[in-house]
Structure 1
Amino acid sequence: MLKINKPLVIVANGEFPKNSIGLNILKKAKFIICCDGAADKLLKNGYTPNLIIGDFDSISEINYTEYRGITLKVLDQSKNDLRKAIDFSIKNNINELSIIGASGFREDHLIGNIFSLYKYPNTKIKIFTDTGTFQLINKSQKIKSFKGQQVSFFLEDKTIKITSSNLKYNFNKSTLNNLFSGTLNESKENYFNLEISHGTLLLYKKYK
Structure 2
Amino acid sequence: MKEAVILAQGAYPTHSYPLQLLHTTQLLICTDGAVHNLIDKEPHVIVGDMDSLSTSLQEKYKDRLVVNKCTETNDLTKAVTYAHEQGIRKITILGATGLRDDHTLANISLLGSYALLMDNVRMVTDYGVFYVFSDSTRSHTPDGYTAIEIPCSPGLPVSFFALNPTMHLQAKGIAYPVEDVVFDAWWKATLNTCTDSSLDLKFTNGPLLVYLPHF
> Does residue 53 of structure 1 match 2:60?
no
Does the 8 Å contact 1:141/1:193 carry over to 2?
yes
Per the alignment, residue 145 of structure 1 pairs with 152
Q: Give, as a single letter, the amino acid of the residue that structure 2 aligns with 1:78.
A: E
Per the alignment, residue 28 of structure 1 pairs with 24
* Equivalent of residue 207 in structure 2, options 194, 200, 206: 200
**Once the two structures are superposed, what CA deviation does each residue of 1:138-157 show, in whole Å capped at 9, x if it has no partner?**
32222211112211111122
SS of the residue aligned with 1:40?
Answer: helix
> Does residue 8 of structure 1 match 2:4?
yes
Rounded to whole Å, the distance in 1 between the matches of 2:178 and 2:47 is 41
Corresponding pairs, count: 202
Per the alignment, residue 136 of structure 1 pairs with 132
Per the alignment, residue 104 of structure 1 pairs with 98
Rounded to whole Å, the distance in 2 between the matches of 1:125 and 1:199 is 14
What TM-score results when the alignment is normalised by the length of structure 1?
0.92
Per the alignment, residue 17 of structure 1 pairs with 13
Rounded to whole Å, the distance in 2 between the matches of 1:113 and 1:157 is 16
Rounded to whole Å, the distance in 2 between the matches of 1:159 and 1:101 is 30
Does the 8 Å contact 1:6/1:30 carry over to 2?
no
**Structure 1 vs Structure 2 CA RMSD:** 1.5
Structure 1 ranges of 4+ moved more than 4 A: none
The percent identity for this pair of structures is 30
Structure 1 residues 76, 178: closer, same or farther in 2, change over 3 A? Answer: same
Q: Give, as a single letter, the amino acid of the residue that structure 2 aligns with 1:160.
A: M
> Does residue 90 of structure 1 match 2:91?
no
Deviation at 1:73, TM superposition (A): 0.9
Rounded to whole Å, the distance in 1 between the matches of 2:155 and 2:58 is 45
**Once the two structures are superposed, what CA deviation does each residue of 1:93-126 show, in whole Å capped at 9, x if it has no partner?**
1010111111110011011111111113342111
Deviation at 1:197, TM superposition (A): 2.7
Q: Give, as a single letter, the amino acid of the residue that structure 1 aligns with 2:205.
A: H
Counting only pairs closer than 5 Å after superposition, residues 107-122 of structure 1 correspond to structure 2 as 107-122=101-116
Rounded to whole Å, the distance in 2 between the matches of 1:102 and 1:34 is 11
Rounded to whole Å, the distance in 1 between the matches of 2:4 and 2:114 is 16
> Does residue 125 of structure 1 match 2:121?
yes
Rounded to whole Å, the distance in 1 between the matches of 2:126 and 2:54 is 25
**Once the two structures are superposed, what CA deviation does each residue of 1:172-194 show, in whole Å capped at 9, x if it has no partner?**
25332211112111111111211
Per the alignment, residue 143 of structure 2 pairs with none
Q: Give, as a single letter, the amino acid of the residue that structure 2 aligns with 1:205.
A: L
Per the alignment, residue 139 of structure 2 pairs with none
